[in-house]
Amino acid sequence: MTYIKKSHTKRNIAIILIIIVSVASATVAYATLTAKKVEIGVKIGDTFTYSLMSTVHLTGNESTASDGFEKYNQTDYYKIIIKEINGTQISMDTLWKFNNGTEITNSQTIDIANGQKSDDYGFWAIYPANLNTADLLRPNGYDGNTVNNTDTVNYANGNRDRCFWRIDNQFSDIRDPTGATLMYDYRNIFFDKETGILTTLENYQVFNNPAKTEYIQWKLVDSSVWDV
């Protein structure tokens, strides 16, 4: 009599799938319980207006300002209007008006929980409300950036709490196979704690070949939420 070994492959696969599903469900449940609630600080119709300025120091031979750098000093204002809020997604219209009267209009949607946005080059500096020191800027994101500090700022109609974070990055020019052509990017970002909206951005970009330093500043000058 010939005996054939009975295969348990289907049974084993079923058991494995049950284990995977159980572990995944437990992970999701744990993440849901431990995740910090993401608060929205702005409302539909809120407006925020910024002044923009820039400076450049050309210290290397044949160094020139980056393309489009002059537009910051040609700016009358940059305005944001909150148009829609859906969960943690905030949609806004932006208006960039220049001193010669020309305008650039755009729209942006950003998920403040993870930082994902519809326009990679659009306005991005809005965060969850009521963050504290060491809190993640994007609670459900992956960059791991956190609030470095908080303080209080005096405005026309009283004091408001604000948050601060800083980022330092180094980039190499892909056109240089030696990797010796570098740009150092330093950013100081201040935002209002209650609304999560940017109040001041300072961006320094330092190039080593040819040597130059470019500086860009965004500063909140008007808001429908409080007297700046």
168 occurs within a structural domain: yes
96 occurs within a structural domain: yes
42 occurs within a structural domain: no
List per-residue pLDDT tens for the chain, 228 residues long.
Answer: 322 333 444 344 333 334 333 434 433 333 333 456 899 999 999 999 999 999 999 999 999 999 999 999 999 999 999 999 999 999 999 999 999 999 999 999 999 999 999 999 999 999 999 999 999 999 999 999 999 999 999 998 899 999 999 999 999 999 999 999 999 999 999 999 999 999 999 999 999 999 999 999 999 999 999 999
Claim to verify: residue 62 and residue 173 sit in the same structural domain: yes
Residue 24, judged by CB atoms within 10 A of its CB (0-12, 13-18, 19+), counts as: exposed
Element (H, E) at 158: strand 158-172
Would you say 200 and 217 are in contact if contact means Cβ atoms under 8 Å apart? yes
Would you say 107 and 92 are in contact if contact means Cβ atoms under 8 Å apart? yes
Claim to verify: residue 29 and residue 133 sit in the same structural domain: no
Claim to verify: residue 159 and residue 71 sit in the same structural domain: yes
CA–CA distance, 77 with 49 (Å, rounded to integer)? 7
What is the per-residue pLDDT for 36?
Answer: 66
To the question of pTM greater than 0.85 for the whole model, the response is no
Number of independent structural domains in the chain? 2
CA–CA distance, 4 with 226 (Å, rounded to integer)? 81
Claim to verify: residue 84 and residue 193 sit in the same structural domain: yes
Claim to verify: residue 181 and residue 130 sit in the same structural domain: yes
Cis peptide, bond prior to residue 210, ω within 30 of zero: yes
Claim to verify: residue 214 and residue 101 sit in the same structural domain: yes
What is the per-residue pLDDT for 124?
Answer: 96
CATH assignment at residue 179: 2.40.360
90 occurs within a structural domain: yes
Claim to verify: residue 176 and residue 86 sit in the same structural domain: yes
Claim to verify: residue 151 and residue 185 sit in the same structural domain: yes
199 occurs within a structural domain: yes
Torsion of CA 60, 168, 80, 219, to 10 degrees: -70
CA–CA distance, 73 with 35 (Å, rounded to integer)? 42
Cβ neighbours for 220, distance < 8 A, ≥ 6 positions apart: 48, 49, 50, 197, 198, 199, 200, 228
Claim to verify: residue 15 and residue 60 sit in the same structural domain: no
Would you say 135 and 199 are in contact if contact means Cβ atoms under 8 Å apart? no
Residue 38, judged by CB atoms within 10 A of its CB (0-12, 13-18, 19+), counts as: buried
Residue showing tokens 């609304």: 195
41 occurs within a structural domain: no
Claim to verify: residue 114 and residue 71 sit in the same structural domain: yes
- Domain assignment of residue 160, given as a range: 47-223
212 occurs within a structural domain: yes
Claim to verify: residue 74 and residue 17 sit in the same structural domain: no
Claim to verify: residue 54 and residue 25 sit in the same structural domain: no
2 occurs within a structural domain: no
